[in-house]
Structure 1
Amino acid sequence: MAAALLVSCAVPRPRVLGPSDAERRAYDGAIATARRDASQGRTRLAAFLEQYADGSLADDAGVALARLELRANRPQEAERWLVRVLRDHPKGDRADTARVELAKLVAARGDGERAWRIARDVRLSLLRDDERADAYRLFADLAKQRGDAAARLDWLARLRSATRSPDAVVAIDREIADAIAALPLDALTSAGARLGRRAPAASVWLRAADLALRGGDRDTAVRALAEAEKLSLGDAEAQQLARLQAQLAMRTQPAGGDAPPPLSYVATDPGVAPASQASGAIGVVLPLSGPLAKVSEDVLRGALLASGVFGADPASASGLRVVVRDTGGKPDRAAAAVRELGQRGDVLAVVGPLTKEEVDAAGGAAQEVGVPLLALTRHENAARESAEVVRFGLTRRMEAEVLADHAVRALGLLRFAILYPKDEYGREFESLLWQAVEARGARVVAVSGYAPNATDFTKPIARLLGPQAERPADPSIATPPPPPLVDFDALFIPDAHDKVAPIALQLVASQVSGVRLLGPSGWHHPDLLRIAGTAVDGAFFTSGFDPTHPSSLIREFVDQYQAAYGAAPSPFAAQGFDAANLVGVQLARGAQTAGDVRSGLVATQLYPGVSGVTTIDATGDARKRPFLIEIRAGQMASLE
């Protein structure tokens, strides 16, 4: 009720311009007493207010007395004195301090609306520096209660500027980061405009650009990046700006040779019933025993999830059946499995196998029995060996095209080096990237190879580098080794994560810096980060699956797979899911024969799958766009 007196306050008492000498002595004496003994100080300040109720220092005494009451855990008495200050001295130089203190008390009781009505009349310019910080905190908390996210961010920014304690600044920064992360796009643009050039405007605009890009709002992304570019940026913010500008450029020019556009460019609803609602039978032929058993198990899990026969409510199970055969990694067993499935009469398509040798053998059998084979191999010529083979795997050529496109067109990298293993995999990738880079106007300026079983990469790295600067002629002068001449701004390493990690560490040891590392899908493994740490920060690579992608299609797949199997899906699981799903889509569209299924498969255009966007031509050759993933602050993050 005390705060309610503010609504109908009495006429202010007249004020004199300054305290008399007697008033000043009485006030100073009461304050000195309060510093020694709070209880006696309360008594003397109360007596002072009785004697000098209309004095210049009455509002000072009222605020001081209220604070003493608060320290004595007597909030009601504190509130009474604050209300009296505002009633008797609403324009006094301590009235605004009283408003802040009173609003804090009322807010602590849970009456945020009344606290706001009290606080909104505070004149911030009349507060002392330490009191102004208190007011900023009050306004930030009240804005949060009122649901005004942009205002809360503004007040937190002011609070940070007024805070001197490093620990307190760190805590406020966490609040600001959480506040920014919780804001929708429209609130971010509003907050950015309100902040002007004050921190954290840069973080706000960068977050707005990120959300706009994820949502396909190019105009807002352009505006947000332009606003961020005007501001003073820290190193992390400058890196984020460059990354977002690269993403914008990639979306403006979604090239990549013959690759389909990124998933974010394509509607993620295929426009047909999901495969799990189809009827019929799909064959799955994989090396479920042998060296590729784990990979095959992942593919099978993905296929089963697409069909709806595993992890679903049996009452809602579909009529789509999956018939599984194990090849053991043997080409003859793969051919026999496809032949047997094709002769059953109910299997209208087969997903698998994996290796080129198995696909070559199974392709002949598929042609014999007239059943389409959705092969998961990466080899480009697989579809040309048999009229029934539809090659669904991601090719190395497509990976090289997309890597080169992002590096040159989005990041502006023009001078490349290639460090590759001297095996079939490394040599093919070296040739493919070289062609892709030069087709985009960039150059390969250094190439070095190493034995596939190498563990020391010092010499291969040295062959990439120019001569070191000369040491001083006088050997008595102790100087550190001069840095090498690094004549390239990007280094392509076509190898698996377990080789890339030590290479990255040895690059650091060789003083190679300022170079962007890039590689193929073999990099996509958590051990790369665990072993290489910051040595791979800023690197990017392709992958057949990106669990960090913002698409709802991928989020749902990850959630369903986790629920069904209790594990995160791998790129192989994503490929199996899409392959089975694409066959199921043909059945859902009404395909009655194996020929109908193949006709539907080779007419596939920009199919949005969890393993990427796929187009299949009339020869049965799939063009799949790989995902691009960047290593950013020790985490793998989508570049889409």
Structure 2
Amino acid sequence: MVAAKVGVLLPKSGDYSSIGTQMEDVIRLANDHMGGRMTLVFRDAHGDTESTVTALEELVIDEGCVAILGPLIKTDVMAAAETAQALGVPLVALSHAKRPTDAGEFVFRGFMPIRQQIEALVSHAMDNEGLRTFGVMFPDTGFGTHAAESFQAAVEARGGSVVVSVGYSPEATDFRSDAKRLGGKDYTARAAEYARLQRDAEEKGMDPSKVVLPPSVELDGIFIPDSWKRVGLVASALAYEEFAIGDFRPHRHAQRVALLGLNAWNNPGIVENGGGYVQKSVFVDAFSPAASRPGVENFVESHRSVLKRAPGVLDALVWDATHLVGEAVLAAGPDRAAVRDELKEVKLASPVAGGGHFGEDREVARDLLVLTVAGDSIREWQPPALDPTPSETP
């Protein structure tokens, strides 16, 4: 039986060529893992929309590919999606770009959109930890604004509330003024309270100039859609402004405020960078090499053995997407419409990134991991152990 041709659109030149090479290696490894059931045909898609469309047309018309994996770069994705729909070839986009599936029924997405992460995070925060009232500190970028707005919508849909939202410059390194705004610290309106706190400090032999007003808003959690490198700085500013985060308590009766994030927090560097301020913080991701999911251990071992590096979430997402296409092609044969139909039905037994099938919206229905900083490592979140109830003496 001749292996069906599957086209792959990845950046092989330009600024993202290193990521394209990384993804190509994973796709080849995944195909080998499936016994080479696909003949892979690679083409360059580096952000030039016209050349990407031309490459896609060549893959379908000249090469006879029955499905397409990619592209990656968001400027390429919608043009590729519309072209694939017009040509009647299934395309599984490997991108976070907004809703490529809107192009039509031949277009799927194999990556993890932001709204999927936010839905999982909010579900956990409100259903598992009982948080109801939130603040948001976000970078004032397109991504940060979109994440903040999506978070608020998800919280309000579940009956919670976002009572304060503060944007900050993406170039900032000192976030104390932003943390002060989050806490509603109007030193003019609260002058009498501030003077009293300074007098109390002086009476206790403390430096009154170091006194800060406590936050005037009560929050259960603070959402920070930024990278792990920035989170430590933001957390430090929040602690300075007397938010009770991580292991820090401004006073012994302070109630902990949970820090919440997305998969950009999932890096071991957050532990050292954030110190005690990020302990017990919670974030979501599709993959962790230490996850207890079936198939993860073998995936990590083969990755290290063949590619000589540890896999990350990008590798895991591409691995699962390649397996979804491979399973569909095996079942459908050379008919493109049949491949499309099989993509809607295929189910992976052991997806390493939590996404074993496509939902009705042709997005991967993904079961995300909830992760937390615990001591000197990142671990899967576990509910607090309950104290055993003593049995009554008969």
Interval containing the TM-score (normalised by the shorter chain)? 0.7 to 0.9
Q: Is the 8 A contact 2:294 2:352 kept in 1?
A: no
Letter in 1 for 2:44: D
Could you tell me how far apart the structure 2 residues matched to 1:568 and 1:329 are?
Answer: 28
Q: Which one-letter code corresponds to 2:206 in the other structure? A: T
C-alpha contact (below 8 Å) 1:287/1:293 kept by paired residues: yes
Q: Cα–Cα, structure 1 residues 376 and 554, in superposed 2: closer, same or farther, change >3 Å?
A: same
Shift >6 Å, 4+ stretches: none
Q: Does 1:598 align with 2:334?
A: no
Superposition deviation, residue 470 in structure 1: 3.0
Q: Do the aligned partners of 1:586 and 1:601 also contact (CA within 8 Å) in 2? A: yes
Q: Relative to total residues, which structure has the larger helix share, 1 or 2? A: 1
When the two chains are superposed, the root-mean-square deviation of aligned CA atoms in Å is 2.5
Q: Is the 8 A contact 2:72 2:95 kept in 1?
A: yes
Alignment length (residue pairs): 358
Do the aligned partners of 1:335 and 1:363 also contact (CA within 8 Å) in 2? no
Separation in 2, partners of 1:482, 1:502:
18
| Identity in percent | 27
Distance 1:319 1:400 in 2: 35
- Where 2:151 maps in the other structure, the secondary structure is helix
Give 2:146's aligned residue: 428
Output one character per residue of 1:140-181: Cα deviation in whole Å (capped at 9) or x when no partner.
xxxxxxxxxxxxxxxxxxxxxxxxxxxxxxxxxxxxxxxxxx
The residue that corresponds to 1:357 in the other structure is 75
Partner amino acid for 1:490? Answer: G
**Superposed displacement of residue 397, structure 1:** 1.3
Structure 2 distance, partners of 1:597, 1:584, is: 10
Instruction: For 2:69 and 2:183, locate their aligned partners in 1 and report how far apart those are by CA, in whole Å.
Output: 46
Matched, 1:494 2:212: no
How far is 1:345 from its partner? Answer: 4.5
Residues 632 and 533 of structure 1: CA distance in aligned 2, closer, same or farther (over 3 Å): same
475, 484, 490: which one aligns with 2:214: 484
1:23-102 matched pairs, under 5 angstroms: none
From 328, 351, 355, the counterpart of 2:46: 328
Q: Which amino acid aligns with 1:321?
A: T
2:3 aligned with 1:279: yes
1:551 to 285, 290, 293: 293
2:20 maps to 296
- Higher strand proportion: 2
| Counterpart code for 2:69 | V
Structure 2 equivalent of residue 389 of structure 1: 107
Q: Note the C-alpha offset of 1:431.
A: 1.2
CA distance in 2, matches of 1:563, 1:612: 23
Q: Quick one: distance in 2 between partners of 1:301 and 1:510?
A: 47
**Residue 414, structure 1, aligned to residue 132, structure 2:** yes
Q: How does 1:102-251 map to 2 (within 5 A)?
A: none
Does 2:175 correspond to 1:451? Answer: no
- Matched residue SS, 1:629: strand
Q: Which runs of 5+ in 2 are unaligned?
A: 245-255, 383-394
**Which protein, 1 or 2, shows the higher relative CO under an 8 Å CA cutoff with sep ≥ 6?**
2
Contact 1:518 1:540 in 2 (8 A): yes
Residues 240-298 of structure 1: CA deviation (Å, up to 9, x unaligned): xxxxxxxxxxxxxxxxxxxxxxxxxxxxxxxxxxxxx9932222111132232333233
Asked if the contact 1:306/1:580 (under 8 Å) is kept, the reply is: yes
Tell whether the 8 Å contact from 1:466 to 1:487 is kept in structure 2 after alignment. no
Counterpart amino acid of 1:428?
A: H
Distance 1:536 1:347 in 2: 48
Tell whether 2:314 aligns with 1:572: yes
Secondary structure of the residue aligned to 2:226 is coil
Distance 1:408 1:368 in 2: 42
**Whole-angstrom CA distance in 2 between matches of 1:604 and 1:611:** 16
Query: Which of 524, 528, 533 lines up with 2:266 in the alignment?
Result: 524
Structure 1 residue aligned with 2:367? 625
The residue matched to 1:435 in structure 2 has which SS?
helix
* 1:460 alignment partner, one of 169, 174, 178: 178
Offset of residue 572 of structure 1: 1.1
Pair 553,342 (structure 1): closer, same or farther in 2 beyond 3 Å: same
Per-residue Cα deviation, 1:574-608 (whole angstroms, up to 9, x for no partner): 11111111111112324332221111112346875
Question: What's the counterpart of residue 205 of structure 1?
Answer: none
Distance in 1 between residues matched to 2:280 and 2:259, nearest whole Å: 7
* 1:339 shift after superposition: 1.0
Q: For residue 346 of structure 1, report the CA deviation from its aligned partner.
A: 4.2
Amino acid at match of 1:376: L
Match of 1:52 in 2: none
Distance in structure 2 (CA, Å) of the matches to 1:637 and 1:572 = 19
1:49-78 deviations in Å (ceiling 9; x for gaps): xxxxxxxxxxxxxxxxxxxxxxxxxxxxxx
CA-CA distance at 1:463 after TM superposition: 0.7
Q: What residue number does 2:250 align with? A: none
Structure 1 pair 567–606 and aligned structure 2 pair: CA distance change class (3 A): closer
2:119 aligns with one of 380, 401, 407: 401
Could you tell me how far 1:400 is from its partner in structure 2?
A: 1.1
- Tell me, yes or no, if the aligned pair for 1:494 and 1:520 is still in contact at 8 Å: yes
User: After superposition, where does 1:523-542 map in structure 2 within 5 Å?
Assistant: 523-542=265-284
TM-score (norm 1): 0.52
The separation in 2 between residues aligned to 1:504 and 1:291, in whole angstroms, is 32
Which of 90, 101, 104 aligns to 1:372? It is: 90
Distance 1:607 1:494 in 2: 32
CA deviation after TM superposition for structure 1 residue 617, in Å: 4.1
Q: Give the TM-score normalised by the residue count of structure 2.
A: 0.83
Gaps in structure 1 of 5+ consecutive residues: 1-276
What are the Cα deviations for residues 383-440 of structure 1, in whole angstroms up to 9, with x where unaligned?
1124432122211111111111111110111221100112211111111111211222
Q: How far did residue 323 of structure 1 move?
A: 1.5
CA, structure 1 residues 295+625, in 2 after alignment: closer, same or farther (shift >3 Å)?
farther
Letter in 2 for 1:510: E
CA 1:476/1:381 → structure 2, altered by over 3 Å: closer, same or farther? closer
Change (3 A) 1:345 1:466: closer
In 2: Cα distance, 1:527 partner to 1:296 partner: 25
Task: Give 2:22's aligned amino acid.
Answer: D
Q: Which moved more, 1:579-588 or 1:615-624?
A: 615-624
Secondary structure in 2 matching 1:400 = helix
Name the counterpart of 1:216.
none
> Distance in 1 between the 2:367 and 2:236 partners?
30
Residue 231 of structure 2 aligns to a residue whose secondary structure is: helix
